């Protein structure tokens, strides 16, 4: 038996002594004391006796005095519990968790005794029979309000004592005692102590199971001491503080503050939003009940857990995207350090009665490479190059690194680039499926056939995405005006020249998913709706890691026109919104257009790279034919025919690929290899599809 449990049993033994005296006092003048059916009914004689009894006068001794005057266990005839000899050291020493709890929760002597009376049946079942007798009902084996106050030397007629059960009183408001039987008057309501409180008083420090289902994680102290900055000042504060930390990117500030608190030797209760399970991430999913109201029980349990663990324990909460006010009001406690982190600006109406500090997280950004290095010390290769495209917080980095290690262990190989990219992609994948189509890249630079200049610019685009935090952040090359750290490129060229393929190659090189924006679901005929849809896409792309592709971007990034009608004015407003949004964009976006002149010049100024995709010449067309048919069986001498087709048929890369697919189907249909005739048929059909004259044939259809 641990010392905390022995201290609590000593208190209960003394309580049993007081109960024994009360039993003896009541049974002395109770004519039904020897009745074997006592408690199952109330006789007329008993009712008359109770009705004729005068109201008791309020006693003068305090609860502590009544305890000191109680007879010893031996005097009361009760068998004493086996306890250590030095009872006073346990009862009032560091192992007496009830005394420590009273200090952490701001309880008075009367509160402390009420709590002890209420939890007694949860520790020693003999109290059930005693309480059943004293309640005159063998079925009610928990202490009632009246019984608890009787044992404390007062009663429900005392307004001060009665006020200890008010919803705003510490016992009830802080989740230590639950009043049951709502239909009964207050004096008859039963008292129940949550199991987590009982377990804590017995020496159990396991996290409340209710909190685990609510997205709360207990993080023990550990790590390096915090450096100077906002996070360090929060962690080293001498008294509890309540802070709203506005994050530049979801999770960044919460991760930094959590690391600082743990480095300062403080335990952290970290609450992360959980998803609804319907394919959409909503930060308020588990903050509310089925009716959309704040889950008061879960919030009360979170603060109770922090208080049970002592003054050094802090709570870090990632705020929901929608209506965070109720959660802030519930958790803004003056005696617990609570940090609310979110991308929303601070609203004073969230918690008007709380002293809430509003801070920005510009100074609490952490170096994710340090966390990656700590988690993957055996990684072979350039770790900075591998993780550069990902903007994960320190907590997410640890999850991703452990996922990469688990994946490599499952495959039985050392952790490599593919493991890191796959694990990080799972954590950073945005939920854009409503307005965009996800493409999991399956191509690389080896699949691109381009001239040296555009190919080099694509490599540069990947490098910008990897090193933007260093160049724009550490080296301070980002201009002011609230500009983001996004990378935006424009791919211009004729249809079929490889613009979309190049975007997929860049995404694959960075280890990111590509999302192709579905313009049909974005553009809306109603004024302002297009901007709202675009904002949802940009906001989700800002907070996660992906490549956003606006194919045929002319539809939304076209030139502004002279205002001649209301339609022109609203179209120009849409362009103005996009110009402003690109300035603050933090993600990676690629715009494609068939005609560069269609893009407004104001957009081109905000674009980092413009890559022109030229129409392929003969040499490039020959390379495209060979690349397209590299994996198919070929008849001897096919390469010469590919070169002739490259000279005769003026086709772009997309058309050459379509012609190659046609040739493949023709060969598969007859069960043989691709022949020169198959290739020529495919090329002719692409010419006919585009309405062009087939060399030597005209417009005749070639079977």
Structure confidence by residue, pLDDT tens digits, 199-227: 999 999 999 988 988 889 999 999 888 87
pLDDT at 622: 95
CA 557, 558, 559, 563 dihedral sign is negative
Q: Is the pLDDT of residue 47 over 70?
A: no
Residue 219 is predicted with a pLDDT of 93
Q: Which class is 368-428 in CATH? A: mainly alpha
Q: Residue 656 — pLDDT band, cuts 50, 70, 90?
A: very high
Q: Answer yes or no: is pLDDT of 678 > 60.
A: yes
Is the pLDDT assigned to residue 526 strictly greater than 90? Answer: no
Task: Please write the tens of the pLDDT for every residue from 77-88.
Answer: 333 344 343 445
Q: What is the pLDDT of residue 59?
A: 47
Cβ atoms of residues 610 and 596 within 8 Å = yes
In this predicted structure, the answer to whether residue 699 has a pLDDT above a threshold of 70 is: no
At 692, give phi and psi (nearest 5°): -105, 160
Closest CA to 117 of 210, 45, 11: 11
Name the residue with tokens 């999850």.
399
Smallest CA-to-CA distance from 619 within 446, 443, 450 is with 450
pLDDT for the residue 210: 87
Distance CA 207, CA 212 (A): 8
CB 337 within 8 A of CB 233: no
User: What confidence category does residue 683 fall into, taking pLDDT thresholds of 50, 70 and 90?
Assistant: very high
Burial 615-633 (b: 16+ CB within 10 A, else e): ebeeebbbbbbbbbbeebe
- Give me 120's structure tokens: 């007694």
Q: What is the pLDDT of residues 415-434, one digit of tens each?
A: 999 999 888 888 765 567 77
Take residue 236 and report the two structure tokens written for it. 């080293």
Average pLDDT over residues 315-335: 90
Task: For residues 559-584, give the mean pLDDT.
Answer: 69
Give pLDDT, residue 700.
44
Check: CB of residue 493 under 8 Å from CB of residue 595.
no
CB 674 within 8 A of CB 667: yes
What gap in Å lies between CA 493 and CA 253, rounded to an integer? 42
Interacting residues of 618 by C-beta distance below 8 A, sequence separation 6+: 646, 647
Residue scoring higher pLDDT (33 or 476):
476
In this prediction, residue 563 carries a pLDDT of 54
Query: Distance between CA atoms of 273 and 318, rounded to whole angstroms?
Result: 7
pLDDT for res 311 = 81
pLDDT of residue 415: 92
Note the pLDDT of residue 428. Answer: 66
3-state SS, residue 443: coil
For the chain, give every domain's residue range.
3-201, 209-363, 368-428, 445-613, 618-689
CATH number for the region 618-689 comes to 1.10.8.60
The tens digit of pLDDT for each residue in 239-286 reads 999 999 988 777 778 888 998 999 999 999 999 876 544 334 433 344
Statement: residue 288 has pLDDT above 60: no
Please report the pLDDT score of residue 64 as a whole number.
Answer: 44
Q: What's the pLDDT at 673?
A: 95
Neighbours of 201 (CB within 10 A): 25
Q: List b or e across 669-693, with b for residues whose CB sees 16 or more CB atoms inside 10 angstroms.
A: eeeeebbbebbbbbbbbbbbeeeee
> CB within 8 A of 266, min separation 6: which ones?
221, 235, 312, 313, 314
Angle between helices 452-468 and 499-510 (to 10 degrees): 40
Of residues 517 and 115, the one with the higher pLDDT is 115
DSSP-derived pairing of the beta strands 337-342 and 436-439: unpaired
- 3-class secondary structure, 96: coil
Q: What are phi and psi of 343, to 5 degrees?
A: -85, -10
pTM more than 0.85: no
Q: Rounded distance, CA 319 to CA 30, Å?
A: 59
How many Å apart are CA 659 and CA 129, to the nearest integer?
89
Q: Report whether pLDDT(92) > 70.
A: no
**pLDDT tens-digit map of 583-629:** 888 889 999 999 888 888 888 888 899 999 999 999 999 999 999 99
pLDDT band, residue 73 (cuts 50/70/90)? very low
How many CA atoms, within 13 angstroms, populate the side-chain half-sphere of residue 179?
A: 23
Cβ-based neighbours of 635, under 8 Å, separated by 6 or more: 672, 673, 674, 675, 676
Can you tell me the distance from the alpha carbon of 174 to that of 245, in angstroms, rounded to the nearest whole number?
A: 25
CATH level 2 (architecture), domain 445-613: 3-Layer(aba) Sandwich (3.40)
Nearest to 244 by CA among 321, 334, 350: 350
Of residues 296 and 654, which shows the higher confidence score? 654
User: Given this model, what pLDDT does residue 1 score?
Assistant: 76
Q: What is the DSSP annotation of 279-341? A: S---TTTTTB-TTS-B-HHHHHHHHHHHHHT-TT-EEEEEPPSS--HHHHHHH--TTSEEEEE
* 209-363 topology per CATH: Rossmann fold (3.40.50)
The pLDDT value recorded for residue 54 is 64
Token pair in block for residue 656: 């050459």
**Residue 554 — very low, low, confident or very high, per pLDDT cuts 50/70/90?**
confident
- Interior angle at CA 300, CA 315 and CA 10, nearest 5: 100
Q: pLDDT: is 210 or 92 the higher one?
A: 210
Please report which confidence band the pLDDT of residue 314 belongs to, taking 50, 70 and 90 as the band edges. Answer: very high
**Residue 277 neighbours by CB distance under 10 Å:** 7
Q: Among the residues of 429-451, which ranges form H helices?
A: none
Question: What was the pLDDT predicted at 536?
Answer: 85
Stretch 440-468: mean pLDDT: 93
Quick one: pLDDT at residue 50? 52
- Say whether 368-428 and 209-363 share the same fold: no
Distance CA 307, CA 331 (A): 12
Mean pLDDT, the chain, as a whole number? 83
> Counting Cβ atoms within 10 Å, is residue 488 exposed (0-12), middle (13-18) or buried (19+)?
buried
Beta-carbon neighbour count of residue 27 at 10 Å?
A: 13
Query: Are 441 and 507 a contacting pair, CB within 8 Å?
Result: yes
């Amino acid at each position: 038996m641990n010392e905390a449990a022995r201290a609590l049993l000593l208190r209960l033994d003394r309580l049993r002594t007081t109960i024994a005296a009360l039993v003896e006092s009541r049974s002395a003048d109770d004519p039904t004391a020897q009745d074997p059916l006592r408690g199952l009914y109330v006789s007329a004689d008993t009712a008359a006796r109770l009705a004729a009894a005068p109201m008791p006068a309020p006693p003068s001794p305090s609860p502590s005095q009544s305890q000191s005057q109680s007879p010893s266990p031996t005097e009361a005839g009760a068998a004493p519990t086996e306890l250590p000899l030095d009872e006073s050291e346990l009862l009032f020493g560091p192992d007496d968790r009830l005394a420590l709890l009273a200090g952490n929760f701001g309880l008075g002597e009367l509160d402390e005794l009420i709590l002890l009376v209420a939890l007694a049946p949860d520790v020693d079942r003999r109290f059930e029979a005693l309480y059943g007798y004293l309640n005159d009902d063998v079925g009610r084996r928990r202490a009632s309000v009246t019984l608890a106050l009787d044992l404390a030397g007062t009663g429900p007629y005392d307004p001060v004592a009665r006020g200890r059960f008010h919803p705003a009183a510490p016992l009830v408001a802080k989740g230590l005692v639950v009043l049951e039987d709502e239909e009964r008057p207050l004096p008859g309501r039963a008292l129940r102590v949550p199991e987590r409180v009982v377990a804590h008083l017995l020496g159990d420090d396991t996290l409340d199971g209710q909190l685990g289902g609510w997205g709360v994680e207990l993080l023990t102290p550990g790590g390096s001491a915090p450096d100077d900055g906002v996070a360090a000042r929060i962690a080293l504060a001498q008294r509890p503080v309540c802070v709203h930390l506005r994050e530049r990117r979801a999770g960044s500030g919460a991760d930094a503050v959590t690391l600082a608190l743990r480095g300062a030797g403080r335990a952290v209760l970290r609450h992360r939003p959980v998803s609804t399970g319907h394919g959409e991430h909503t930060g308020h999913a588990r903050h509310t009940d089925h009716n959309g109201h704040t889950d008061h029980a879960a919030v009360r349990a979170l603060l109770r857990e922090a208080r049970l663990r002592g003054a050094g324990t802090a709570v870090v909460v990632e705020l929901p995207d929608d209506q965070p006010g109720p959660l802030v009001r519930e958790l803004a406690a003056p005696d617990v350090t609570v940090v609310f982190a979110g991308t929303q600006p601070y609203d004073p109406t969230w918690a008007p009665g709380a002293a809430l500090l509003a801070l920005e997280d510009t100074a609490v950004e952490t170096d994710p490479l340090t966390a990656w290095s700590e988690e993957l010390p055996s990684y072979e290769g350039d770790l900075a190059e591998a993780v550069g495209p990902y903007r994960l917080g320190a907590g997410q980095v640890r999850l991703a690194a452990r996922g990469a290690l688990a994946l490599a262990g499952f495959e039985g190989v050392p952790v490599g680039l593919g493991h890191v990219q796959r694990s990080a992609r799972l954590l950073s994948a945005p939920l854009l499926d409503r307005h965009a189509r996800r493409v999991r890249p399956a191509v690389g630079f080896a699949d691109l056939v381009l001239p040296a200049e555009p190919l080099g610019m694509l490599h540069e685009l990947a490098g910008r995405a990897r090193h933007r935090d260093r160049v724009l952040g550490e080296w301070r090359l980002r201009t002011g005006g609230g500009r983001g750290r996004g990378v935006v490129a424009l791919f211009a060229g004729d249809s079929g020249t490889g613009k979309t393929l190049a975007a997929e190659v860049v995404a694959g090189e960075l280890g990111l998913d590509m999302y192709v924006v579905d313009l049909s679901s974005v553009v809306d005929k109603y004024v302002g709706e297009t901007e709202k849809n675009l904002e949802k896409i940009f906001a989700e792309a800002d907070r996660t890691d992906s490549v956003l592709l606006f194919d045929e971007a002319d539809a939304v990034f076209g030139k502004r026109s002279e205002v001649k009608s209301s339609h022109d004015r609203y179209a120009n407003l849409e362009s103005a919104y996009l110009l402003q949004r690109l300035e603050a964009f933090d993600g990676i976006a690629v715009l494609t257009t068939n005609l560069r002149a269609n893009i407004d010049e104001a957009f081109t100024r905000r674009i980092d790279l413009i890559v022109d995709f030229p129409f392929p010449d003969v040499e490039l067309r020959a390379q495209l034919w060979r690349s397209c048919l590299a994996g198919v069986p070929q008849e001897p001498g096919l390469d010469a025919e590919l070169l002739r087709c490259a000279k005769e048929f003026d086709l772009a890369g997309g058309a050459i690929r379509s012609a190659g697919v046609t040739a493949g189907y023709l060969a598969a249909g007859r069960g043989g290899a691709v022949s020169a005739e198959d290739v020529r048929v495919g090329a002719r059909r692409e010419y006919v599809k585009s309405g062009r004259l087939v060399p030597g044939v005209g417009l005749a259809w070639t079977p």
